Amino acid sequence: MRLNTAGALNQLLAKRVLVVLAALLLASCRLVILTDETGRIDSASGTANCDQASCVIPIEELYSETFTAVAADGYRFVKWKGVCTITVIPICEVKLAPLTEQFAEFDGDVELSAVFEPTTSKRAWYRDVDGDHYG
């Protein structure tokens, strides 16, 4: 009876050690949000709003957040840079997770920033050259 109890305790202890090791073996990365005076980046949850020059969010577990680029007065959103580059609207969903220790060399900072321009800037695709309301 004692052997079974001791064996069960050893198995339980071994499982706990593996869980702790697995958690420790995850390499952390950071989401670095960059902004300037032309606008800010807000998070849907409100926990990662960034109105400073840069904000750093450590990623130690699965991370999911929706960010919105908010232009300052006199500016408009143009595009995202970094993790949201393929998104063409000012709302971007970010999902990140740290890599395991095996791939830690590829882990590092992930940047997120928005590009804004003055509303007085002229872009060819904003102009209606011939008055037909079609670019």
pLDDT number for residue 73: 97
> Is residue 43 within 8 Å of residue 54, measured between CB atoms?
no
Question: For residue 103, is it within any domain?
Answer: yes
pLDDT in tens, 60-116: 888 999 999 999 999 999 999 999 988 889 999 999 887 777 666 656 788 999 999
Domain membership of residue 101 as a residue range = 27-118
Does some domain include residue 95?
Answer: yes
* pLDDT band with cut points at 50, 70 and 90 for residue 30: confident
Number of separate domains in the chain: 1
Q: Are 57 and 48 in contact (CB under 8 A)?
A: yes
Q: What's the whole-model pTM score?
A: 0.68
- CATH number at 104 reads 2.60.40
Residue 56 C-alpha from the chain's centroid: 10
**CA torsion 106→59→39→134, rounded to 10°?**
60
- Residue 22 domain-assigned (yes or no): no
Residue 7: inside a domain, yes or no?
Answer: no
104 part of a folded domain: yes
User: Is residue 43 in some structural domain?
Assistant: yes
pLDDT value for 108:
75
* Residue 80 domain flag: yes
